[in-house]
Structure 1
Amino acid sequence: MTTIYDVSRLAGVSAKTVSRVLNEPDRVRPETRAQVQAAMKALDYTPNPSARQLRLGGASSLGLLLEDPVSGYLSRFHHALLTACMEAGKHISVELFDMQPGWAERLDRFLDEGRVRDLILLPPLCDFAPLKAHLRQREARAVLIAPSVFDPHFPSVVMDDRAAAREVIEHLFALGHRRIGHISGHPDHSAAILRRQGLFEAYDAAGLPRPEPDLLVAGDFQFRKGIEAAEALLSLPQPPTAIFAANDETAAAVSVAAHKRGLSIPGELSVIGFDDAPIAAAVWPALTTIAQPYLDMSRRVVQALDNWEANFSSGTAATYMTAHSLIVRDSAGKAPK
């Protein structure tokens, strides 16, 4: 299926320019407009009529519910979604949301007053079954980002958390680490489970015994819990030479706990996080981490909403996988001898 991004690549312009050619052609220079129109013809691209009607109608076609706007993970997605919507010529309405009593009435007010039909649900809201049931009742459309469980009614955009975690551990193996501690995420979210499974897979593939139970400490993706978990690991009679944290906030907490003990990072302890949240580049030393493909996932969300029926071509909602990358910075080094 040809998308606005395919047209933009062939024409050598931004997706936002393609959107302007479709919706506000008089604002685009004639030579650029001709270039985009030639690309659309070559690719046999036809704009989605319902999506275009929403863009032209003055209503905000997309809605984003945020439960924890200060989370580094969610803030990165917020920025990426804003960028993807801007590129596609869409507006987006953002609503602070929680699952306290009265949530359904607040949601209805947001959808009705903002004339929002399409929603984007991030964790943990993407796993809140009553919310999704309410949306189905309203015949609202939604795309789920990184849900814990597959939902046949809503398409989802995900990355391979297990493969990413395995890549982290293999990177530490290459640096000579074998005694690796792990601080997991919230036990109710599948990402925490998948990242631990990836750790185990790396050990199994290398023919090494899995980490001892005292090297696996429960966390909840929060900084304070990360401090407690790091203290537990660093207080072991034989502490780990590296710690893989389930997210960057937890990894930053590990760095704080290590510095408090006078440990050198990465000389005496290597630390790796996950997400590439803003804090990963802000702490010292900067964190080696897994970069989630925030912008690619956000663009895939916009495409899924623009071509809604295509998400169900197999009879059930599609799941779209996106690629991660390992960002090597200064917090991981060779294992101490």
Structure 2
Amino acid sequence: MASDGCSKDDLLEENRTDSGIESYRSIVKSEEPRDEFPAPRDKFSTAGEERLDSAYGSSSIVESLSEIVQSFTLSGAEAVQEQPQTCELSEQEDLLRTITEEGDTILHLAIIHEETSFAQELIQLFPKEVLDIQNNLYQSPLHLATYLNLTDVVRGLVKKGVSLELQDQDGNTALHVACQHGQTDCATEMTRDVSPGELVPVLETQNWRGLACLHLAALNRQHQVMKLLMKKEADLNIQEGTSGKTALHFAVELRDIALVKLLLSRGANVDAAMFNGCTPLHLAVGRQDAPIANLLCQSGADTMLRNMEDETALDLADGNDDILALFPFDDIQISGRSVVSVRY
């Protein structure tokens, strides 16, 4: 699972909504066709809703879903489709066409329960339009497969041409999810056969917090995912939508010197300004972080740039000798501004 320590159990505990999936057994055996499944017991959401029950993974659920899986094969479904249209729908066909009260298709449910072989058969059976159905939390099957790091399922969905641009209720695409949780293999599958130009709309998509994929990877210290995004020519200087920070700003705030070095080595703008005019050097000096401030200076950061408060990074040094040693002498000033600067 995620390299940031986000385990599947943690994800399930934090992102669960109530449901009634255990009645699947009665649905499968029922003689009357049903229009809807009861709501599935398991849901993944980034909204942080509390889990309301404890039935996920219980034996009754596993056995119920297993009955559905055992009663269905791809060849069997194809045989059903070949029957004359005048025939009444079989229970299998009804199951395939059913959407639960929470908007889940049978594919959503197969993925949630990690029935990967069954999910793969459904992926081959369903047209792209069905594979892109989003549930009530706006999660597509690709979102759920990514949450659970089901790389084979992600690969199957991508090969069928599912949309990478669908956003869930928090505005996250499936690639956002992979970047946040360090699902490098899933991210690789989503970007493997896509040209950098075709990826641009996905890489530039911001979630409802204004964060693009690169920002989420930086915020969660997902260095491997960052390298993948760089290989795919992601814009290293893209600004998040609320304050205008770039990935370099986030790396400086996190004191992640390894990420700072990585971004600078790949050409990130050392003088990128936030909406308030603050550069990464402003942030480093304001946090009294001499090692990162030194690294930025060595990479050519302009020490005389001013933010909207008319402050240079030097103004934020607050008497820190290690920080002050990084800045030039101000031998000649006009109206308080240096006109001649000599570096050590």
TM-score bin, normalised by smaller chain: under 0.3
Task: Answer 1 or 2: which has greater strand percent.
Answer: 1
TM-score, scaled to structure 1: 0.25
Higher alpha-carbon Rg: 2
TM-score, scaled to structure 2: 0.24
- Larger relative contact order (C-alpha < 8 A, sep ≥ 6)? 1
